[in-house]
Chains A and B, each alone.
Chain A
Amino acid sequence: MPNPIPALGKVIVDGQEIDILPGDTLGACMMRAGVLATRRSRSGQLRGLYCAIGVCNECLVSVDGIDNFRACMTVAEPGARVDTGREPG
């Protein structure tokens, strides 16, 4: 479905550029780009957004080298470097 709203910029998720639309959280723009996995759990399982309202803490990503941002609650800023698929803690 073509999206008439112009992109605000891009974030870089695991090296891949992803468009940001106005109001996007990291979780939203990643999901729109088909990137569902946000981290690996303690036992190595891939996880992604689950509750999407900041309660479950499954969507934790690293942003610009700092861990434990909830992708569903973090506003997507152009140029942010996001890393996923990592062990927590």
Chain B
Amino acid sequence: MKSRLKDAVIIGGGIIGAACAEALSRAGLQVALIERLGLAAGASSACQSGVGFGISKDDYTLRLHLAAVRAYQEFTADGTDVDYCHHGTILVGEPDEETELKASLQRLRDISVRCEWLDESTLREAEPALSPEICGAARFEDMGQVSPMRVVNEMVRRAIRKGAEIHTNTEVKGIEVSSGKVTAVVTSQGRILSELIVVAAGAWSRQIGELVGLRVPVWPLKGHILVTEPVRGMLRHYVTETGYEATVAAMQAASIDAAGPRPGSPQTAAVLQNLPSGQILIGSSREFAGFDREVNRERLAQIATRAERLVPGLRRLRIIRTYAGLRPWTPDGLPLVGRTAQVEGMVFATGHGGNGNTLALITARLVAELMTGQATTLDTTPLSPDRFEMNGL
């Protein structure tokens, strides 16, 4: 690649980077996307891919996720096929959580979220595969799932049609800064001149930040998945348990020292995703283990055990594959979306934790709005990278 001039360079070819490439090239920018390995080689090919939201007490996070779900509905309204289904999510809680859950559901209904409590007989009909020991659960109508790999490929296709360049198997070696402004990206295939860099490198965004002397608060949070053989319509919904949010919260409580978040106890919670192709993705787990993607057998067993408790029929299904992926975790559980004042021209679209798939389209829209000076779909202040002290390595 000869030295060339681009309006924007996107670092990272996962779902966030690909969506940003499409949004920015659709907005008229000349874009180059740089990916170290292949498209979707990071978390985007090693995840579960529900599209939805937790019962968060935080009003902003909820609004962000609702906008995210709407973005998927709009994206697929013309028939675009990325395996997006909004079959709904069932959230199973412990018996003593019923009152609190019902209250949360009412609060959500008050802001027009479509959700309801299913009592035992309704639940049996709605999701017959659930354990008979479960007497009730919450159901969220507009949640669903998507295929991140298909989203990546569709976004890349569209971006290329709008003139974007995609460079895979290309490493970022350095970022040139002059008088506090980004001027170029140095890659293993040559230099690209640009005054705008979008860092969408997921768990590797911290390493990118180091190239310009920034301490980006993103660290890998490892998760495990077991994949079953294809089965005909075993689950009608995305199925998860309230324990899931507890695992997320437990990780958010991690203390961070110079080396990053302290490991603490690994967390597991059942999350079940029946793909359109029939396989069930069985998750989930959370632990800080650096960049190690080897599967931990004990963790797999823990996940299987929690899952089988919710859906006993899983017991006889065969597991055909397992994998581990690295979520880009941030200390406050919100992504970094937007410019940093520390380096002019440096934009972040990263740190989505376990919500990357859900938030990909809304993130790309926000980034495009910010870069083209438009009013943003929602307030991006809570997502500002500069809410963290990033200066000085």
Complex CA–CA separation, A66 to B230 (angstroms): 12
Docked Cα-Cα span, A42 to B318, in Å, equals 19
Report which of B231, B277, B279 forms a contact with A67, defined as CB distance below 8 A.
B231
Whether B316 and A88, one on each chain, are in contact in the complex, defined by CB atoms closer than 8 angstroms, is no
B367-386 residues with Cβ-Cβ distance < 8 A to A are none
Select which of A66, A87, A89 is within 8 A of B279 by beta carbon. Answer: A89
A-B contacts, 16 of them at CB < 8 A, read: A42-B277, A67-B232, A68-B229, A68-B230, A68-B231, A68-B318, A86-B232, A87-B232, A88-B230, A88-B232, A88-B278, A89-B230, A89-B231, A89-B232, A89-B278, A89-B279
- A42 CA to B231 CA, complexed, in Å: 12
Enumerate A47-89 residues with CB–CB distance to B below 8 Å. Answer: 66-68, 86-89
Name the B residues within 8 Å of A88 (CB-CB).
230, 232, 278
Q: How many residues on B have C-beta within 8 angstroms of the other chain's C-beta atoms?
A: 9
Q: With the chains together, A64 CA to B230 CA distance in Å? A: 18
When C-beta atoms are compared, the residue in chain A nearest to B278 turns out to be A89
Interface residues as binary, A24-62 with B (CB distance below 8 Å gives 1, 0 otherwise)? 000000000000000000100000000000000000000
Which B positions have Cβ atoms within 8 angstroms of A? 229-232, 277-279, 316, 318
Complex CA distance for A13 and B219, rounded to whole angstroms: 55
A62 closest partner in B (C-beta): B232
Interface residues of A (CB under 8 A from B): 42, 66-68, 86-89
Tell me the complex Cα distance, A86–B318, Å.
Answer: 19
How far apart are the CA atoms of A42 and B278 in the complex, in Å?
Answer: 10
A67: chain B residues within 8 A (beta carbon): 231-232
Decide if B316 touches A66 in the complex (CB within 8 Å).
Answer: yes
Taking CB atoms, residues of chain A closer than 8 Å to B230 are 68, 88-89
> Cα distance A66–B232 when bound, in Å?
11
A-B pairs with lowest CB-CB distance, top 4? A89-B278, A89-B230, A88-B230, A68-B229
Name A66's closest neighbour in chain B (CB-CB).
Answer: B316
- By a CB distance below 8 angstroms, the chain A residues around B279 are 89
Q: Tell whether, in the assembled complex, residue B318 and residue A89 are in contact, meaning their CB atoms are under 8 Å apart.
A: no
Distance (whole angstroms) from the CB of A41 to the closest CB of chain B = 11
Chain B residue with Cβ nearest A68 = B229
Bound form: Cα–Cα A67–B279 in Å: 13
Would you give the shortest CB distance from A8 to chain B, in whole angstroms? Answer: 27
Contacts of B232 in A (CB 8 A): 67, 86-89
Q: How far is the CB of A89 from chain B (nearest CB, A)?
A: 2
CA distance A87 to B316 in the complex (A): 19
- A67, A86, A89 — which one has the most chain B CB atoms within 10 A of its CB? A89
Chain A residues whose C-beta falls within 8 Å of the C-beta of B316 in the assembled complex: 66
With A and B bound together, what is the CA distance between A58 and B211 in angstroms?
51
When distances are taken between beta carbons in the complex, the residues of chain B under 8 Å from A89 are 230-232, 277-279
Question: Please, how many angstroms separate the alpha-carbon atoms of A88 and B232 in the complex?
Answer: 6
Known: A68-B230, A68-B318, A87-B232. 14 other contacts (CB 8 A): A42-B277, A66-B316, A67-B231, A67-B232, A86-B232, A88-B230, A88-B232, A88-B278, A89-B230, A89-B231, A89-B232, A89-B277, A89-B278, A89-B279
